[in-house]
Chain A
Amino acid sequence: MDMYREIILDHAQNMRNKGLLHPNDFDHEEHNPLCGDKLHLTLQIDEHGIIRAVGWDGQGCAISQASASMLGEKLIGMPLADAKQLDKQLILDMIGIPLTINRVKCALLSLKTLVVGSVGLETWELIEDNEDE
């Protein structure tokens, strides 16, 4: 079916950058209370604030794991300052298929981990609520 289009299955079956980094400059874990998915994200950031390496670990559905894999690829080489400003639309576009309300939470878990860990929960809630209001 559409939800499992090739790129999602590719990322879900061959996850990029899986495995936590030690040492690291960013280390945060979030979960999705609706289904129990977990996402643990670590980053190495150089002296110019550029993300040089991404390592993550997690448990969850193909959508949540593929989104972490795809987001990780995007983050390498990006200034952390820019990463903090990423919008959820980036993830939704990468996933590229219409998601229902509960599955959006799966897709956004990786971005939530990045934003909550680097900026805070309130900012994340604003991003998450954005389309609704």
Chain B
Amino acid sequence: MSSTFDFPYEIDTIRADFPILHQDHHAGVPLVFLDNAASSQKPTAVIEAMNTYYRTIHANVHRGIHKLSEAATAAYEDARKKVQKFIHAKSRREIIFTRGTTEGINLVAQTWGRANLQPGDVVISTVMEHHSNIVPWQILAAEKGFTLKYLPVLPDGTLDLEQYTRWLRDENVKLVTVMHASNVLGTVNPVAKMAQMAHDAGALILVDGAQSVPHLPVDVQSLDCDFLVFSGHKMAAPTGIGVLYGKRDLLEAMPPWLGGGDMISRVTLEGSTWNELPYKFEAGTPAIAEVIGLGAAVDYLSALSMEKIHAHEQAITRYALERLAEVPNVTVYGQSSERGAVAAFTVKNIHAHDVAQLLDAEGVAVRAGHHCAMPLHDFLAIPATARASFYLYNTPQEVDIFIAALYKAQKTFAL
């Protein structure tokens, strides 16, 4: 069945770029890595970009006159321009490097949110959000007294846009903060439409792109989002690096968050003035190697083309969902027609942790638990799910191994 699969690129060549994939998970059992929504693997080009930096040009950025500092600064700023082009931002100054999606959301909450939200205001989040797009707003709401509302999820795993319309019409909504693609249901939310609706109601929109930027072409200007946040490590780049995109006029007006070196224009003992964008939000020595690694990852993904990556992942996901539907006692969550490369599922009478353990014995790495989306699992009335998630290097043969392992797991539990 999987032999008829149509690849948009030479899959063996691509897989050869990822050293970690070519090892036995257990003796004689190859690795089938299906935990990409948690973190993707890294191609040699990314690993080597960071190694080369440490071996040949490491020095602090934005300060030194010497050649190493100049080279490090040039590499660091070059990566910013690559990210700018990758998400189609107007200016490199709209690209702020963070530690990841979580830090990006916290930055917006603690700067824009702290300066603009007050009692009587409403922030709309959703029931399907990752904890990183719920908790920062809860913390701020407790302090500032605004109201945090969560858009419900419909039975097919999509957002309740009728409720969204009503809330935008009837409530004093200042901000909508929503994930582009769900890490559990797979749902790709209509964020361009939601942005337009938010703007018509005078609200801003923050898009959590952690599960979309690695997988599909994202254009901040066509989405017209006010903020976009994402993480490097889910898109073939290192851990510890992420991006906050913000529209320039918003970023200009926002107060800084972390104070320190590199983010100042002038410091006196009486007070300080802030550096220009993007440095205003990049206090302290940044994650230089990781930024350079992110730049290399952007190059890698762009060379493959996000359109092809998306097409490949759509085909793999479609195939996995077909195969999962054949397996008895398995329930898959989320039926949105627009969906990303994740399949969260439960197996009747086997807890998700046991499913993951039995799959691991067959070399198949999946995640089990609430996937940092406890409110969504409460809403679905299930304690945990197992989740297979795919990336540009996964193959239908790997899906077959995964499905065979699921059958075997059920046999072990004598279902």
Residues of A within 8 A of B (CB): 31, 33-35, 100-103, 121, 125, 129, 132-133
Known contacts: A31-B265, A33-B266, A33-B275. The answer to whether A102 contacts B64 by CB under 8 A is yes
Nearest A residue to B77 by beta-carbon distance?
A101
Known contacts: A33-B264, A132-B92. The answer to whether A102 contacts B276 by CB under 8 A is no
The stretch that binds A, out of B67-75, B170-178, B290-298, B307-315, is: B67-75
Interface residues of B in 341-356 (CB under 8 A from A): none
Known contacts: A31-B265, A33-B264. The answer to whether A102 contacts B92 by CB under 8 A is no
Residues of A within 8 A of B81 (CB): 132-133
Task: State whether B275 touches A102 (Cβ < 8 A).
Answer: no
Residues of A within 8 A of B337 (CB): none
Task: State whether B91 touches A129 (Cβ < 8 A).
Answer: yes
Question: What would 12 more interface pairs be, CB under 8 Å, given A35-B63, A102-B69?
Answer: A31-B266, A33-B264, A100-B70, A101-B70, A101-B77, A102-B70, A103-B70, A121-B276, A129-B91, A129-B93, A132-B81, A133-B81
User: How far apart sit A125 and B251, CA to CA, in the bound complex (Å)?
Assistant: 14
> CB-CB contacts of B59-93 with A at 8 A, as 1s and 0s?
00011110101100110010001000000000111
Nearest A residue to B69 by beta-carbon distance?
A102
Closest beta carbon of chain B to A11's beta carbon, Å: 19
User: How far apart sit A121 and B93, CA to CA, in the bound complex (Å)?
Assistant: 13
Task: State whether B92 touches A133 (Cβ < 8 A).
Answer: yes
Closest beta carbon of chain A to B19's beta carbon, Å: 33
Nearest A residue to B64 by beta-carbon distance?
A102
A-B contacts counted at CB < 8 A amount to 39
Task: State whether B93 touches A125 (Cβ < 8 A).
Answer: yes
User: How far apart sit A101 and B74, CA to CA, in the bound complex (Å)?
Assistant: 7
Residues of A within 8 A of B77 (CB): 101
User: How far apart sit A129 and B265, CA to CA, in the bound complex (Å)?
Assistant: 18
User: How far apart sit A103 and B64, CA to CA, in the bound complex (Å)?
Assistant: 9
Residues of B within 8 A of A121 (CB): 276
Closest beta carbon of chain B to A115's beta carbon, Å: 13
Residue among A31, A33, A103 facing the most chain B CB atoms (10 A cut-off): A33
Nearest A residue to B263 by beta-carbon distance?
A33
* Residue from the list A102, A129, A132 in contact with B65, Cβ < 8 A: A102
7 contacts between A and B (CB under 8 A): A31-B266, A101-B70, A101-B73, A103-B65, A129-B91, A132-B92, A133-B91
User: How far apart sit A83 and B74, CA to CA, in the bound complex (Å)?
Assistant: 30
Task: State whether A125 touches B62 (Cβ < 8 A).
Answer: no
Residues of A within 8 A of B262 (CB): 33
User: How far apart sit A34 and B61, CA to CA, in the bound complex (Å)?
Assistant: 10
User: How far apart sit A129 and B278, CA to CA, in the bound complex (Å)?
Assistant: 12
User: How far apart sit A33 and B69, CA to CA, in the bound complex (Å)?
Assistant: 16
User: How far apart sit A10 and B280, CA to CA, in the bound complex (Å)?
Assistant: 36
Residues of B within 8 A of A101 (CB): 70, 73-74, 77
User: How far apart sit A133 and B73, CA to CA, in the bound complex (Å)?
Assistant: 17
Residues of A within 8 A of B63 (CB): 34-35, 102
